[in-house]
Structure 1
Amino acid sequence: MTSRLALIFILAIAAAGCDLVNVGYNQGACGSASSTTPTIQLQLLIPSGLAQPVYVTHAGDGSGRLFIVEQAGVIRIFKNGSLLATPFLDIRSRVLSGGEQGLLSVAFHPQYTSNGRFFVNYTATGVGVPYKSVIAEYNVSTTNRDVADLTERVLLEIPDRYSNHNGGLNLFGPDGYLYIGLGDEGGAGDPQNNGQNLGTLFGKVLRIDVNGALPYAIPSDNPFLGTAGARREIWAYGLRNPWRFSFDRCDGRLFLADVGQATWEEVDIIQKGGNYGWNIMEGPACYLSACTPTGLPPIAYYDHALGDCSITGGYVYRGTASPALTGWYLFADFCTGRLWSLRETSPNNWTMTQAAQTGLGISSFGEDQNGEVYIVDYNGGALYRVTAR
């Protein structure tokens, strides 16, 4: 594919049925995307003042608040049109921040309204190795719902020899399980060959049960429970740096954007037990030399010819404020600020179109409880709502 064709293309992928996780999702009532490419508009909500924001989400508690993660180790609240001065959580003393490291995401428990539990993903100084990725649980204060209790319960620590490719997203699925994205540990080309190794958590999407035995339980239908030597937490593998992913809140499909090495960025639909090719494949092509194609193909991809270099995954729009966006999957490139819309024209056939050139450092998309979509600008410290006409 040439760079000129990188803007708009159609991909056909093998018609293999996805093993979907969709408990609680409204299957059969999904609005299809219009054939007319939406004209994206960004509504500025916070013009500045955020310090290197990397994620935005909601708590599912009906409060209308947005929670914005700052890389250094702080979570801020946007409430009633204002950014609160007092942080919701400040764990800068525990977080190792810089480059691709830091406090990278927060996920609120599906029963957060009643139990106050939430889970963060951050990097810290390791023991015996330079670094570690930490998955930890906190609770909201019992006296002030805009402030968290600083008591930490660590669920999982992953020792790490490299500072990059941390993945970093915690996200609850519609099944109530916690999904965790972990990169291939780092180093160019996956030097430890972690992506294809089921004996390590690196280069994977994990799926764990935070409601069972401590520190966590393994869901009984995870795909590799009976595979000798495989980590039981693994849901999918063959990933380089799964920075951002999301569930379509209508049909339950899991869309994941995997950051490429030097040539390709890709969007995948994650299936139970799926292999997404890295480090044999990068995007649609062999990574280093001729190879036997391995793993499930991406549904969309683009190259680096126009300066793009790091994909930021987004959401299938299911809000109500911008009907022109319904059914479109939105994603962007961090390096150029280009924003794309992707729609399924027929089963397993996808059309990708550049919808906007924002000029922003889009580090993450996010949703509110109503399905409206937001972006955070890492470079400008700003928050925007995505709209369309």
Structure 2
Amino acid sequence: MRYIIAGHQQAVHLLGIALMALAALVGEGLQRPVLGQSLPAGFVDTVVVGGLNLPTAFTTLPDGRLLIAEKNGLVRLFKNGVLLSTPFIDLRSSVNDYWDRGLLGIAADLDFSTNGYVYLLYTYENNAADYSGHKSGRLTRVSASGDIAAPGSAVTILGTTVGSGCNNFPAGTDCIPSESPSHSVGGIRVSSDATLFVSLGDGAEFNIVDDDALRAQNLDSLSGKLLHITRTGAGVSTNPFWTGNASENRSKVFAYGLRNAFRMGLHPNSDLPYLGDVGWGEWEEINAPNAASPSVNLGWPCYEGLLHQSGYEPKAVCQSLYALGPSAVQMPVISYYHNSGGSSAVVGGTFYTGALFPSQYDDAFFYADYAVGFIRYFKVDPVGVKSGPLLGFGANLQAAGPVYLDSDGAGLLYVAINTGEIRRISYETNDSSITYLSDGSWTSMTNGLGPVERDQSNGDGATYDGRVITLAGLGYAKGLGVHAPSDVRFALNGACTTFQAAIGVDGEVGSNGSVVFQVWADGIKVYESGTMDGSSATQAVNLNVSGTAQLQLVVTDGGNGNAQDHADWADARLTCGPTTPPSVIATTPPAGSTGVPPTANVTATFSEAMNAATFSTSTVTLVPQGSLTPAGATVTYDAATRTVRLDPSASLATSTAYTATIKGGSGGVTDVAGSPLPADVVWTFTTAAAGASAYLSDLAWTAAVNGWGPVERDRANGDLAPGDGLPITLNGVTYVKGLGTHAASDIR
């Protein structure tokens, strides 16, 4: 049973649209689109190989050669900077490339150097006279012989049964559904143990409710699955539905409930797959199915994003799934909205594993959107769990049409299907003086609608619901998306010289909106834009902020209320001088002190503003002598005094030596510019014996006001900064302990 849902719009179709786009460009007499990519400063986008016919994916061989899959079934070889005229293999007579179908996946075996295996994933052409009809898919393994596939080496390892779709075959048949013009085969990745991860679409129609999509919930069908198989196509015994029979479909299933899992990447340490699932009318997803989780059901077609899929919600299969509760589904790592029906097509990407990008991109997972034309990323921890915000990396990529991402030692590679190229984004200018505000931490933020968005427009009321920042039709990879009235503040600490941005009302509100941009430096207004609306030209801001301690970005409404006042600080960035790493300038209790009250807290004051997000019980620890286990505690950071405080959960043991550590270096605390504390700061102190008296400077006060700067512990008041006082001295006598204050002072 199939019927159209009124009001639903389909996600864009990657390869079919690419064909139409190329035809339109040829008709206009253009050889290729003009590429106006927006990238962070220091990055460049260059062609690695051109002259390709609808490339879909590639694999890098151990000797640096590239095998490139073209949609029609031809595999090209790029060797020593030359695209060879003789193909590696020609599968065109076996590949159906109607609409989104074709040769979409390619991968070289982990042991290619010894076995020469190459894997090819495609929709099989069983009847050329029925080009647009129902089909099925295949995963074929061939063996390389020099620069070509050895004749007669092809072995089908998945999809051994082919025909006009898979519904006419018994349940459990080794048949890959490809009945729809889209949602056919997906991608291949080879794991560190030489097994394969293979993604497959649901094979269902893409713009109507189609009961074929329900096969994604059937473990005996290969529809809508992520498979984990050996190089012979057998299931892996650690798979969650292993039956003991490696040839059974469910023994091959690693995760299920996918719509169109077009592309994926594997975490370099854990092999955890991160895959993009192209949504229907509302949500795009990045999923990271983990077999250790309670469920590896990713939800489609019963869920889209985090919500019930309204078209399939009445189906009995979905009602049964809903009855099990939300824990029956492993929700996406991220999902992003199509923004009022706009088309999107997520391309689930790759982990950057090189060493040439700035350190902020270490452990980053990059993903793209073919239709919207962006590349974004988020950080992932060492075991493969998402651990950071979504950040922008590239925009205005619609002309290129990214459909596949990978990385090599030199940069981030992507397949530009619209221009017939493989392109590389590399870091060419090693200029650490430029810092994007969206990559750092603000000290305070208020916004008229939802949160301030990083590298996205303001969107609606939720986090990460914005679009690509767009001013006058031009997209920006970096920036802040706000809604009037907005006030965002950053600590510069006098380290920066220039603030730059492009400003205007975001294109998501058309010609509407009415705002005024202001820039304040240490409480003094240094820039005002005048009233701007959605039809105003973009303004460039370039200000000298030398010596500024606090930068304040303000957007007010234009005097007529704040409806649709979506404003952008596009490409908002600072130029800062050589960064001085932070240091610890004071500690309590002081290093080597004795008789410390067991109720004391531990503090460390820094030379400059620090990134509060880097302070935790992992980076600030207190360990008693003779133990390896840190004392239980809470850790907080006070930006006003640049002081971190460790508050033990219970009184410390008496007459005991303790070692306090602030972690530096990689994985340690950093300043607001991202510069790490150079090395661990370690000091020791000894607690007082039971019944000993306590010094007030070792205790935490409940409230403190002071006439000049902060109250100082164990030093005179000094000037405004914490820790800047001299030793406490009265009538020529110096005191080790005490409080230094300035009238009027009140400490409780």
TM-score, length basis structure 2: 0.43
Inter-partner Cα distance in structure 2 for 1:89 and 1:364? 20
1:364 aligns to 2:369 (yes or no): no
Query: Quick check: 2:98–2:181 contact (8 Å CA) kept in 1?
Result: no
- Secondary structure, in 3 states, of the residue corresponding to 1:240? coil
Secondary structure at the aligned position of 1:113 is classed as helix
Q: CA deviation at 1:302?
A: 1.3
**Secondary structure of the equivalent of 2:113?**
helix
Secondary structure of 1:217 counterpart: coil
Matched AA of 1:44: T
Identity %: 28
| Corresponding residue SS for 2:335 | strand
Matches within 5 A, 1:59-70: 59=61, 61=62, 63-70=63-70
2:113 aligned with 1:113: yes
The correspondence of residues 1-389 of structure 1 with structure 2, limited to 5 A, is: 39=41, 41-46=43-48, 48-59=50-61, 61=62, 63-126=63-126, 130-141=134-145, 145-151=146-152, 152-157=154-159, 158=175, 160=177, 161-187=179-205, 188-189=208-209, 191-192=211-212, 193-210=214-231, 216-226=233-243, 231-272=250-291, 274-288=296-310, 292-293=325-326, 294-305=328-339, 307-324=342-359, 325-344=361-380, 348-357=386-395, 358-359=397-398, 360-368=400-408, 370=409, 372-388=411-427
Shift of residue 42 of structure 1?
4.2
SS in 2 for 1:309: coil
From the superposition, tell whether residues 349 and 113 of structure 1 become closer, same or farther in structure 2 (CA, over 3 Å).
Answer: closer
Q: In 2 relative to 1, CA 159–327 (structure 1 residues): closer, same or farther, beyond 3 Å?
A: closer
Quote the offset at 1:220 in angstroms.
1.8
1:278-316 deviation per Cα after TM superposition (whole angstroms, max 9, x unaligned):
111111221117755451111112111274411011112
Closer, same or farther in 2 for the Cα pair 1:334/1:249, shift >3 Å? Answer: same
Q: Aligned pair in 2 of structure 1 residues 42, 89: CA closer, same or farther (>3 Å)?
A: farther
Query: Aligned pair in 2 of structure 1 residues 88, 343: CA closer, same or farther (>3 Å)?
Result: same
CA distance in 1, matches of 2:217, 2:393: 34
The change in CA–CA distance for 1:244 and 1:170 in structure 2 (over 3 A counts) is same
Matched letter for residue 335 of structure 2: Y
**Counterpart contact for 1:280–1:287, Cα < 8 Å:** yes
Measure, in 2, the Cα distance between the counterparts of 1:47 and 1:296. 39
Structure having the larger proportion of residues in helix: 2
Distance 2:264 2:176 in 1: 23
Of structures 1 and 2, the larger Rg is shown by 2
Choose 284-293 or 237-246, whichever is displaced more.
Answer: 284-293
Ranges in structure 2 where 5+ consecutive residues have no aligned partner: 1-38, 160-174, 314-321, 430-748
CA deviations 1:251-293 (Å, max 9, x no partner) are 4321111111111111111212611111111112211177554
User: Matches of 1:120 and 1:285 in 2, distance apart?
Assistant: 35
1:345-386 CA distance string (max 9 Å, x none):
896544112222123211111234x48430011111111112
- Residue type matched to 1:209 in 2? T
Are 1:135 and 1:156, in contact at CA under 8 Å, matched by a contact in 2? Answer: yes
Task: Look up the equivalent residue of 2:407 and give its one-letter code.
Answer: E
For 2:99 and 2:265, locate their aligned partners in 1 and report how far apart those are by CA, in whole Å: 23
**Could you tell me how far 1:156 is from its partner in structure 2?**
2.0
Instruction: Check whether the contact 1:318–1:326 (CA below 8 A) recurs between aligned residues.
Output: yes
Does the residue aligned with 1:138 lie in a helix, a strand or coil?
strand
- CA distance in 2: counterparts of 1:308 and 1:131, whole angstroms: 26
Alpha-carbon distance between aligned partners in 2 of 1:154 and 1:230, rounded to the nearest angstrom? 15
Larger relative contact order (CA 8 Å, sep ≥ 6): 1
8 Å CA contact 1:71, 1:103 repeated in 2? yes
Q: How many residues align?
A: 343
Distance 2:218 2:137 in 1: 18
Could you tell me which amino acid in structure 2 is paired with residue 168 of structure 1? G
Return the offset for 1:323: 3.0
One-letter identity of the residue aligned with 2:125: T
